Chains A and B, each alone.
Chain A
Amino acid sequence: MAASFLFSQFVGGLTTAMFLFLIASGLSLVFGVMRVINFAHGSFYMLGAYLAWQMVQWLHPSGETFWPAALFAAACVALLGAIVERLLLRFLYGREELYQLLFTYALVLILGDAAKYIWGTGQLSVSRPPILGGSIMLFGATVPLYNLFVMALGLAIAVGGWRMLSGTGAGRMVRAASYDREMLDALGANVGAIYTGMFAVSSFLAGLSGALVTPIVGIVPGMDVEIIVQAFIVVVIGGLGSFWGTFWGSLIYGQVLSFGILIFPGFSLFSVFALMAVILVVRPWGLLGRPIR
């Protein structure tokens, strides 16, 4: 087997990984800080995709209108996330986790139907932005420029997110909120604002990844449910609530999928689920997660 082929398979896995990281990081962040398992994260991703498509249509289907459209979509989804947290989710924190699960699941149904109502059930597509339309040769493998951009962005968000959490005052507050919400509250910090902010950031990441995926994936109803399953696998492998765990979980998922196809061509999903099963047995709290107290 040629080395260039192994390299292109590796790069393919890396692309998968970085897209999954963009999506799963928000999911993991919200769980880590707020202890909420947000099923609607996939719905925010779907809304990001539809909104980006809508904006591209309004601006102009060709040309570099994709970039403002993607930012617009992500901002809209972030705003929606903040509203949902502020007006609805907030009242469920004191309750059992089951209520939060039911609530976010209800959101999945509501947002799915809303998207169907607004954009119909047809399939939609956004062209690659012309500036990243081409591809380059790397070690004999063809690598699309757009995929390179996504990989770079994923890495930037991983490093930036980590720096934010570990090195800034806001990051310290967020970490404190994840350890002991009541204590932080008693010390006079505005925990409500921190939660709203976190949920908005997580929604922004979901909306952004949904928008960024449109040049390489068709937009269809049901893409919300499709992605949330994969995002959960990544988060489970990496450890629920662990930021770096999600990063490594994505990388491992990407490579296992990519090379699993070579070893078991007839069972494309076998290797990924086998990996998840092994992790759940050996380390139920994930690679970098911590056992729940």
Chain B
Amino acid sequence: MKRYFLRKLLIYLLTFFIAVTIDWMIPRFMPGDPVLNMLAKAGSVHAEAQEVMYGYLTTAFGLDLPIWQQYLNFWNALFHGDLGVSVLQFPRPVVDVIKSAIPFDLLLLIPAIVLSWIAGNKFGAFAARSKRMDNTLLPVGYILTATPYMWLGILLGWVFAIILKIIPISGAFSYALKPALTWTFVLSVLEHWILPFASLFIVMFGGWAIGMRNMIIYELEADYAHYLEALGAPKRLIRRYAYNNALLPQLSGLALKLGVIVAGAMATEIVFSYPGIGYLILMAIQNSDYFLLQGCFLFIIIGVLLANFIIDIVFILIDPRTRLGMQGGAS
């Protein structure tokens, strides 16, 4: 057991290290000088003052140090929880900027992923029961998963916000409110959350439904299923076993999905002006904001690694084969 955990941990740490290094490298080699850009955004400041500002800001961001020193400083600052200062939202520290975006991302992503997974699996299993249901329900699943997130999002927004006028079209909560734990605020958050959530949910739902349906079919054709049938076990029992076994690959699929959902979330956030990390990344790129970019990536990397780790543990708990495998047998 220990060996298994140690190996896994080692792999995670290695992945983390490499991912973070890549994370640090890539933004550095982007074209554009962030300080010049920031000064440009400051408007028609008189030229003489600009030169002083330029020197000051370059030092403040540490951009005049040699590359290797910047790299070491980065790791050092990382362990102190200091991700630098954002260029885009100068003088706000990056941690602050990300902190304010994280809640909305979590609020959007976790329910969407988890609920669509649960609902999609149920739906897929249901569809696998009979050929007729399969043929009618399944195409629905395929069409849903083929829909581009943002297209669906915009259509939903148009129908519900502009035509029916029952849901607001942008933001995370009403602009007339201050964040507070009151019913008005919570309702407002939910009101603004429902459309972005719906667009992510609907598309992902289709994907899980299809996956589950395929898995169930394979399971139902496995030897143990035939054996049980021969023994005269009720269909429900067989289906239940098949379902549990089919959940396993779906679970690993869930882990994988987490890394990919950033893309869908980004498009959705843009459509609904939902203040999440995905949108921050786009802004950071457009403004050569190295520090903010790194911070966002870091958050996503850590998030995905953490989620993968949790799912690994869940696997150990529920899959006896993995437990056996941990005890030294080759898989």
- Whether A associates with B in a native complex is no
Tell me the B residues contacting A by CB distance below 8 Å.
none
